[in-house]
Amino acid sequence: MFFSKTKFANRMLSTQIKEKKIKISSNISINFVQSGEGPKNILCMPGALGSAWTDFKPQLEFLPKLLPEHRIIAWDPPGYGKSTPPKKNFTVNFFNKDAEYAHELMLELNSSKYSILGWSDGGVTAMILAATQNKIVEKLVIWGANASINDEDIKLLEAMRDVKTWSPRMREAMEKVYGVEGFQKLWTDWLNTMLSIYNEKGGNFCKEEVEKISCPTLIVHGKKDPMISKEHVPYLKKKIANCRYYEFPEGKHNIHLRYAEEFNKLVSEFLRS
C-alpha cells in the first residue's frame, strides 16, 4: 500500500500523540495529551480557559521532532476543556491550586523532573510551580504572563467582558469547547475572579514566587501584545535571576501559534542548551 507524504506524516504523527485521563487528588480527573516518547519531560500550561488542543497544537505536533529526547505533555486544567467535571473553582488563589494539581499530574506520570512551557494564565501557574518546586522544575519558558494585574489590565479586560464583541477568530476555538453560552459564563467567572484578586490582593498573582525562581528561564515576548500592560515584562526580567529574553517585534499575545515554527525552534534550542 502506498501513502502520499501528507498521509504518511499524519499516520506517523498519530502514533506519537496520545490523549488520556488520569485521576489525581480529591478524585479529580485530568485530561492530558502526550506526544513524543523521550526520557525527559515538558509540561505545557495553557492560558485562561485554554486546553491542550486549543493552545498547544503546533507544539504537540512538531516539538517531538526537534526534541526527540523529550515527552511533551499538555494538560487541560481542572474545570477547563475535557477536565470536567468538576466545574472550575475560581478563587483568588486558583493559580496556586492549579500549580499543585499540575505537579500532582506530573508525579502520576512518573515525571520526577520536568521543564515547563507556560502561556498567559499558564505562565502565572508555571512561575508559581517553578518557585515552589525549584528542585524539580529544570527549565521554564513563559510568554504573555504577568506577576500581577493593574489598573490598565483591568480596563482592558472589562472592555472584553462581552465575548460577542470579540472577533469570530478569537472566540471560535473556545465556543467549540464550551458552547456559546458556556464560554461566556466561564469567561465572566474568570474575569470576576481577576477583579477579586485586584481588590482583595492588590492584584498580586505571584510576586513573591517570582523572586524564588532559580531554574534557567526564557521569557519570550510579543512586542505588540495587547493583553498585558508594558510594565510586566520588564518586571519579570528584573526579578527572575537566571533568565534570558527573546522578543518577536511584530508578535502579539499568541506568538507560539502565530509564529509556531520560529517559536518551536527557539524553545527547543533553549531546552537543549
Listed as ranges, residues in the chain with pLDDT below 70 are 1-15
Helix (H, G, I), strand (E, B) or coil at 221: strand
Entry pTM = 0.94
> How high is the pLDDT of residue 4?
41
> How high is the pLDDT of residue 26?
76
Percent of the chain whose pLDDT exceeds 90: 92
Annotated catalytic residues are 120, 225, 253
What Rg value do the Cα atoms of the chain yield, rounded? Answer: 18
Distance in angstroms (rounded) separating the CA atoms of residues 242 and 174: 35
> How high is the pLDDT of residue 3?
34
Domain boundary assignment for the chain: 21-147+205-272
User: Cell numbers of 145, please?
Assistant: 504572563
**Phi-psi group of 26: left, alpha or beta (phi > 0 → left; psi -120 to 50 → alpha; rest → beta):** left
Q: What are phi and psi of 134, to 5 degrees?
A: -70, -10
Q: In which residue are the cell numbers 480596563 written?
A: 155
Q: What does CATH list as the number for 21-147+205-272?
A: 3.40.50.1820
The per-residue pLDDT for range 206-257, each reduced to its tens digit, is: 999 999 999 999 999 999 999 999 999 999 999 999 999 999 999 999 999 9
